[in-house]
A and B are shown apart, each in its own frame.
Chain A
Amino acid sequence: MAYKRNIDRLPIIPAGAKEHNVTCHYCIVGCGYKAYTWPLKKQGTTDSNWIGEDLSKQQGAETEAWYAPSMYNVVKQNGQDVHLVIKPDVNCVVNSGLGSVRGARMAENRRSDITGTQAQRLTEPMVWRYGTWQPTSWDDALDLVARVTARVIDKDDENDLYVSMFDHGGSAGGYENTWGTGKLYFGSMKVKHCRIHNRPAYNSEVHSTRDMGVDELNYSYSDYQVADTIMLVGTNPMECQTNLFLNHMVKGMQNGAKVIVVDPRRTVTVDSCEQVAGAENVLHLAIATGSDLALFNTLFTYIADQGWVDADFITNSTFQGDVAVPEDAAHPASLGSFEAARAACKMSVADGAAITGLTEAQIIQTAEWIAKPKDDGSRRKTVTGYEKGIIWGNDNYRVIGALVNIGLSTGNIGREGGGVCRLGGHQEGYFRPSDAHVGRPAPYIDQLIIAGGGKVHHIWANDHYKTTLNAAEFKRVYNRRTNMVKEAMDARAGATREELVDAIVSAINAGGIFSVNVDIIHSQIGQAAHVILPAVESGEMNLTSMNGERRLRLVEKYMDAPGSAQPDCIIAARLANHLERVLREEGRAEYADQFKGFDWQTEEDAFMDGYNSGNREVTYERLRAAGNDGVQEPVRGYENGALVGTPRLYEDGVFTRHGREDGKALFCMGSWRGLQAPGKAQQQANHRFLINNGRANLNWQNWFLDQKNDFVMDRFPVPFIQINPEDMADLGLKPGDMVEVYNDVGATQALVYPEPTARRNETFMIFGAPNGTQGNVINAGTNELILPNYKQTWANIRKISDATPAAARVSYKSWEVEL
């Protein structure tokens, strides 16, 4: 039987309940919600309640006067137990009252001592002591971290400190927290060996579009509603940006937009587009995996040859000449003028069809839908969204550049109904000192650690064990190196702090690594940690972030932190305080002085010290007033009591993201070169199945909490792999069977889910699962700028078990709606 809560009534929100602005902290769309809190022994009634409706009656579809059990919890607020309801905000322009299967469970996924939810949340600092983790005070834990760290760093010599730190908004990220860690590691220190939460280096995922002058978030979501064509590349927004799809893309289709979906797999998005727009208005280009660059270069060539370009825009807003930036170690393709790119990227329709596996007619129809002028001669407005299918796919730099080439040449950037934008993962929330010292290409941190690099490792909400490539080897080495330190600590049980630090440093110098883990839960890499520091999330602190259309909002704190957990910015500040103190004690006064400036007591202090220093108009008070619609960045001023934002970038035709003074956009001159990353072609040749991989609706961006959520784990107790039923028959597999996926770099496990629309020998496995790490079978190959290539992975599959009782219970029916 499916999981049921057996909750058949809920407390009613009373009139006068406290109301807080909340932006969902899971995905980049950032849907608006309202959090209501009220005292535990109070409740509304059917005729006297928060909304003034008669709740003794059945409410209609899309009502504001209902909330699900998943939207309810009991939490602490200022030390008191209170009721909490977090429900979608009907007045927020982003989602208009829609809640996703993730965001509409925010309340249920809060820690509660009363209802027992999310007991996995960390509440106190812990230190490895007596062979396990022992709870301790912040001062004790941070003193140990500071003393060990101080032993491996010195002024202008910080390369033995490795740092893994999130750079995103939402969740536990945001402007406050990226500034906290940024000021510590890039201000007080100049840490070079660092990486970001989901990839093994400190780099942009979209270097090429930025080098071309085009920020990757340049439109407004409303552009989808007025576009003639919506082009979606390597992205699955019905599942991963759900309410962007339902509240904006669907409206665009209802207004007549055609849709192009480039994806080797028939996703739920394809089916939903067909439901809304009619199959005749949807082109699904099921290309051969990794052939996107050939497709885009063919489209670019064909569109230019037909003259379907915006000549005035090209003349006025793009670089005139030949090559502006030559190809080199930091630029995997040259950048230059439209004509130079046209020459470099030239590809015939016949060649494009052969490489992608599409028909020539499909390619030509795609070009027409993108750019063929309408009967009255006016240009088509085409908006393009892309994400991990190409970001984590073959030849990242050139592919994204080629896609932006099409947008630029057709004048579809900076115009209503246009834009070429990534759809994104987390929200954004980046404000840090310059990272120029990191260099480009950035160091490949995970491979350096495997090779013995690093002595102290500070980890801020990263879990390499679940989300890195070459994960099997990384885990083997990291366990060994951290165990060396644990054994050294165990051997000195009862020693003084000074003796303990000496023992740790000896183990480090023998090849060990000292691991400090800052997170909200005891993560998988956290099992290797020596010090664990508990952080908080959005809503347990005030937090600012911006969404995929640069919409900046403040989430108002509505509940207390679990135990003594702290915002990351405050943890960074206290760590800086301890480092300063220890360095001063050690007589290193000049170096200690670099750690001044961290006297923040609240997250607002960090916000004012960081974000506000570059955006003087923006304060908490003004963001509170701006509510769930917030303001779209960049903020240009404050007029008539409201912040003034920028709905769409580059409307003046001046492109700035590359920093060029002429304001001219550049085209990318990246020709097709097959599977670019090392080892991919060989892996393809030696294994039967493509192991395409990505996210799914239910647990996208929230699996770290959902691993303890019964509703979610009941549906997919083990990560699934979708396989064509005929391939299943070949392998003797039944739905729900457990298989091992194995290749030259590792192995992992998954639950078999039959998928009739999957092509033969092409599977899709869910990424980032806590119990079946897909990264185990991803080889170490990256592009020149250390962007991981997850998507092009091949392996073999064998059955290892019949369905477990949990797996045998669940539904294996098609995801496609039948109306």
Chain B
Amino acid sequence: MSDQPASPPASAPPDSWADLRRLTNARIGLKRSGASLATGPLLDFQLAHARARDAVHAALDEAKLAGDLRLLGDVLTVSSLVEDRPTYLMRPDLGRMLSPLSEAALQERAGTFDVAFAVIDGLSPRAVETHAAPVLAQVLPALRAENWRVAPLVLLQLGRVAAGDAVATLLRAPCVVVLIGERPGLSAPDSMGAYLTWQPGPATTDAERNCISNIRPDGIGYADAAAKIAHLLRAMRDRKLSGVRLKDDSERPAALTLSRSPNC
């Protein structure tokens, strides 16, 4: 039942909604009974919700992801102040801070860099397990070809976006790209977000970040996401700022403008 498109309204011809449904993954043309959802689409929804809930509570396969990232550069594995996923969900403040051991490890690797990348499990570990390496595989060569000095890749479990600020500060990189698993939705339990910040620090606000969300093959694809990240990084470096003020008339990703940024 779950993988079949829902049936059209009872009174419509059988294929009336089929071509419309090809235009979007949104749940349109659902079969009704009276005003209410028919049994089929109701149970489709419940299954998708159950899968998303399962994704939120799954743990990151750190060894696998670290192995994938090592093919692209040096990898530093660090941790936040959070110890388990239930605490992670309730205490974003702890997820923004690095453990003392991690801080020391990063400080040891401080150097002369142009950009740091932090890969964080966030609310969908599967998203970064699947999408982080393919995006980085396109971004990093492009940047290196332009002589960007890229800091060691940082892999952080149970972290929030703002933990990337500390990563950049400790490595002494002027800007940071955080790749993080976004909160699972029903049709996308594995969506990744990229948050870019120029000269991040403890006083950085959400308005000073630029965000590319919904990175996955059916959303913003790998090549597109990589191009957007590289484009934003160049613009940030040219104009020495990020966030809502970094906006011109070219195709630019949204700066964070809403409370709708649950990872921060």
A associates with B: no
